[in-house]
């Protein structure tokens, strides 16, 4: 290294060491912005082991289309199925491929390929604009309780406490307060099966606020709905790495078999559906190298700041309902 | 959002790879 370069580097290091922690946080760039579209072919291959009797399968298909951030292309499939039919859930619009095999099929197999284009989302929450209000039906759907996400009882009580403690009055203040509460009071548990069950009332009753994305973001959705603000989960899968270097927030390779991820949206007047993901803040804390980061670690601070209002377009949304089979029409 | 399957009318555990195998792969291609 040349002496001049060394002195320059040393000066930078000295300056960095003297910086307060908040200044370090400013150096972590996590800033998704709507820009170029990216396209991915997502391939799902299914094999039924030990074939026996009647066999059938349901494969989730990307079925969320939003002109600003996700476009679905063609889905094709191959295999030795006896039938293959696209089905659509009438309530949530979730699509799936329902296939059956003959009873004597020795090696049932199905491979489906979906082309999806997506890009980053980012809402400037300092600049409200004119946004069409939700229809009465949409508002009702995204405020109502479900079997696993009730909006009364302990969920309502907890939501009221959070909102009161934060002195939150507007929808955006309530949504933000609940986001912060979920980030600060939950924990990601690596041993959770899949993305978690999302039994919000059980989480609050037991005080066990651990889980994965379908637990933590369902908790966010339930608490937010209970505060009278429309919210919904979006179930999908990470398909490409994070362009901001977050290893925990992107696909680690082309094999995305275990990369399912649930995000959330909240509807705010003046902004429309706003992307959010408190569960991913906890994921950064647990998994981002060197792992077990503190809540004031710059990478966590940057993720927390960004994931209320933005998310990266490295993830394909499937649908807005957790379980596809029972919802098939 | 996991694939589901039934064998002999019994739902297979989508997190049990010994009975129900599936793989998802993603390949980035040129956007239109």
pLDDT tens for A234-256 read: 999 999 999 999 999 999 999 99
Interface residue B4 vs chain A (CB under 8 A):
yes
Q: Which of A34, A55, A195, A321 to mutate to test binding with chain B, by most B CBs within 10 Å of its CB?
A: A55
CA distances from A150 to A204, A216, B17, B29 (A): 11, 14, 32, 41
Chain A residues in contact with B29 by the CB 8 A cut-off are 39-41, 115
Q: Per the confidence metrics, is the pTM higher than 0.80?
A: yes
- Asked whether the beta carbons of A266 and A174 are under 8 A apart, the reply is no
Query: What is the SS3 assignment for B10?
Result: strand
Interface residue B16 vs chain A (CB under 8 A):
no
Write the secondary structure of chain A as one string of H (helix), E (strand) and C (coil): CCHHHHHHHHHHHHHHHHCCHHHHHHHCCCCCCCCCCEEEEEEEEEEECCCCCCEEEEEEECCCCECCCEEEEEEEEEECCCEEEEEECCCCCCEEEEEEECCCCCCCEEEEEEEEEECCEECCCCCCCCCCCCCHHHHHHCCCCCCCCCCCHHHHHHHHHHHHHCCCCCHHHHHHHHHHHHHHHCEECCCCCCCCCCCHHHHHHHCCCEECHHHHHHHHHHHHHHCCCCEEEEEEEECCCCCCCCHHHCCCCCECCCCEEEEEEEEECCCEEEEECHHHHHHHHHHCCCCCCCCCCHHHHHHHHHCECEECCCEEEEECCCCCHHHCC
Interface residue B27 vs chain A (CB under 8 A):
yes
At residue A296 the predicted structure's pLDDT band, cuts being 50, 70 and 90, is very high
Count of other CB atoms within 10 angstroms of residue A150: 19
For residue A3, pLDDT beyond 70? no
The whole-number pLDDT of residue A5 equals: 43
For residue A44, give the nearest of B15, B24, B30 by CB distance: B24
The whole-number pLDDT of residue A127 equals: 96
- Angle, in degrees to the nearest 10, between helices A171-185 and A213-226: 150
The whole-number pLDDT of residue A55 equals: 95
The whole-number pLDDT of residue B6 equals: 94
A68-98, pLDDT tens digit by residue?
999 999 999 999 999 999 999 888 889 999 9
For residue A277, pLDDT beyond 70? yes
Q: Which of A38, A43, A48, A111 to mutate to test binding with chain B, by most B CBs within 10 Å of its CB?
A: A48
Question: A-B interface: how many C-beta pairs under 8 angstroms?
Answer: 121
Contact between chains at B15 and A236 (C-beta distance less than 8 A): no
Contact between chains at A39 and B20 (C-beta distance less than 8 A): no
For residue A264, pLDDT beyond 80? yes
Contact between chains at A52 and B4 (C-beta distance less than 8 A): no
A188-223, pLDDT tens digit by residue?
999 999 999 999 999 999 999 999 999 999 999 999
* First CA to last CA distance, chain A: 67
Q: How, if at all, do strands A310-311 and A121-122 pair?
A: antiparallel
Residue A260: name the closest of A195, A174, A186, A202 by CA: A195
Residues 6+ apart with CB under 8 A from A290: none
Residue A251 in tokens: 């696909």
């Amino acid at each position: 290294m040349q002496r001049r370069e060394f002195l320059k580097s040393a000066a930078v290091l000295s300056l960095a060491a003297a910086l307060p922690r908040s200044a370090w946080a400013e150096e972590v760039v996590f800033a998704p912005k709507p820009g170029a579209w990216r396209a991915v072919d997502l391939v799902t291959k299914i094999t039924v082991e030990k074939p026996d009797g009647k066999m059938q399968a349901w494969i989730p298909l990307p079925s969320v289309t939003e002109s600003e951030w996700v476009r679905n292309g063609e889905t094709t499939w191959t295999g030795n199925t006896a039938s293959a039919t696209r089905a659509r859930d009438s309530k949530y619009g979730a699509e799936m491929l329902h296939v059956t095999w003959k009873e004597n099929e020795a090696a049932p197999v199905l491979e489906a390929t979906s082309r999806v284009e997506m890009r980053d989302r980012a809402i400037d929450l300092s600049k409200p604009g004119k946004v069409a209000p939700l229809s009465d039906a949409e508002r009702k759907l995204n405020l109502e309780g479900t079997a696993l996400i009730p909006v009364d009882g302990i969920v309502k009580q907890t939501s009221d406490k959070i909102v009161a403690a934060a002195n939150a009055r507007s929808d955006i203040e309530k949504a933000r307060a609940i986001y912060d509460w979920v980030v600060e009071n939950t924990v990601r548990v690596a041993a959770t099966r899949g993305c978690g069950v999302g039994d919000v009332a059980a989480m609050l009753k037991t005080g066990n606020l651990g889980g994965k994305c379908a637990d933590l973001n369902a908790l966010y959705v339930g608490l937010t709905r209970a505060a009278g603000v429309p919210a919904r989960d979006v179930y999908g899968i990470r398909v490409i790495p994070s362009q901001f270097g977050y290893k925990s927030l992107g696909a680690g390779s082309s094999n995305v078999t275990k990369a399912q991820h649930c995000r959330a949206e909240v509807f705010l007047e003046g902004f429309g559906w706003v992307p959010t993901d408190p569960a991913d803040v906890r994921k950064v804390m647990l998994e981002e190298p060197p792992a077990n980061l503190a809540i004031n670690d710059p990478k966590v601070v940057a993720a927390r700041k960004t994931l209320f209002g933005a998310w990266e377009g490295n993830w394909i949304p499937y649908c807005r309902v957790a379980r596809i089979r029972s919802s098939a029409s | 959002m996991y694939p589901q399957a039934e064998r002999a009318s019994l739902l297979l555990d989508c997190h049990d790879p010994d009975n129900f195998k599936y793989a998802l792969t993603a390949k980035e291609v040129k956007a239109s």
